Amino acid sequence: MQMATCRALIAFDPDLRTLLPAPQRSLEDVPLEFKGSPAIKHEIESLGVPHTEVGSLRVNNLPAALSDRLHDGDRVAVRGVAPAQGVFNGRGQPCFIADNHLGRLAAYLRMLGFDTLYRNDYQDPELAAVAHQEERILLTRDRRLLMRREVAYGCLLRSLDPQEQLDEVVQRYALAKSARPFRRCLRCNHLLEAVDKADVLDRLQPLTRRYFEEFARCPACDQIYWKGSHYDRMLELIEHCDAPHP
């Protein structure tokens, strides 16, 4: 016996509608046909919206979960992730893993002191596996990657511009208040250690030697940092992210 065709309507928030296939993008309610009782998550993702981008969900005007099943005649309303609503593992401070295309964003997040893994040779299965094992938020512009089953925490970046991407992440996870610049190595993500100027004097350029007093060293890769141009740049980044958004 053939299963009957069921129908439901899904209304997406405007910011999620941009992710839908072109014909559905202008629809207030997207009609959906299905058989059986699939998980809502599956149907939403089949329309191009990764589960990580769903902030909340209502079915027939009642709160629902992505794992709930869809039934004939359901009306589903899907909201995006509101600013500061971004969920993470609750370890106090979110930590991240950035995909291969997000080197600049990874460096910016490290500048602000956030634990951010990045390599330019990570493959998709590895990104998803590390994000899962270490409860990291997966940062990517690749929707297929976020739809992988093991990805619990993820953020789909909309912008191509690294500064705007940083802004997206800072807003979504409310990072401005917990930023700690001059704390983490931009090259390798390791925490920095303060060092006496005298101990690194022989490695400094004459002008750095003359004008700067506070130094830190990465114990993993031996890179030296000082509160100079890097530091000013970090402060600028934070100020920008802190600015009110219209």
Q: In the complex, what is the shortest distance from the CB of residue 55 to Zn ion, in angstroms, rounded to a whole number?
A: 35
Residue closer to Zn ion (CB basis): 24 or 223: 223
Q: Does 42 bind Zn ion (CB under 5 A)?
A: no
Q: Which two tokens stand for residue 61?
A: 């005007």
Binding mask 181-210 for Zn ion (x = CB under 5 A): ----x-xx-x--------------------
Q: Does 16 bind Zn ion (CB under 5 A)?
A: no
The CA distance from 55 to 97, in Å, is 21
Residue from 220, 229, 232, 239 in contact with Zn ion (CB under 5 A): 220
Q: In the complex, what is the shortest distance from the CB of residue 190 to Zn ion, in angstroms, rounded to a whole number?
A: 5
* Structural contact between residues 138 and 145, judged by C-beta atoms closer than 8 angstroms: yes
Mark the segment that binds Zn ion (CB under 5 A) among 63-71, 74-82, 212-220, 234-242.
Answer: 212-220
Q: Give per-residue burial for 193-224: e unless 16+ CB within 10 Å, then b.
A: eebeeeebeeeeeeebeeebeebbbbeeeeee
User: Three-state DSSP class for 149?
Assistant: coil
Q: Does 224 bind Zn ion (CB under 5 A)?
A: no
DSSP symbol at 186:
T
The CA distance from 219 to 125, in Å, is 30
Residue from 131, 218, 237, 238 in contact with Zn ion (CB under 5 A): 218
Q: Does 119 bind Zn ion (CB under 5 A)?
A: no
Residue closer to Zn ion (CB basis): 141 or 187: 187
Residue closer to Zn ion (CB basis): 147 or 192: 192
Helix axes 162-172, 103-111, angle to 10 degrees: 50
Q: In the complex, what is the shortest distance from the CB of residue 241 to Zn ion, in angstroms, rounded to a whole number?
A: 24
Helix H segments across 18-119?
Answer: 22-25, 40-46, 103-111
| Region 89-118 residues binding Zn ion, contact defined as CB under 5 A | none
Binding site for Zn ion (CB under 5 A): 185, 187-188, 190, 218, 220-221, 223
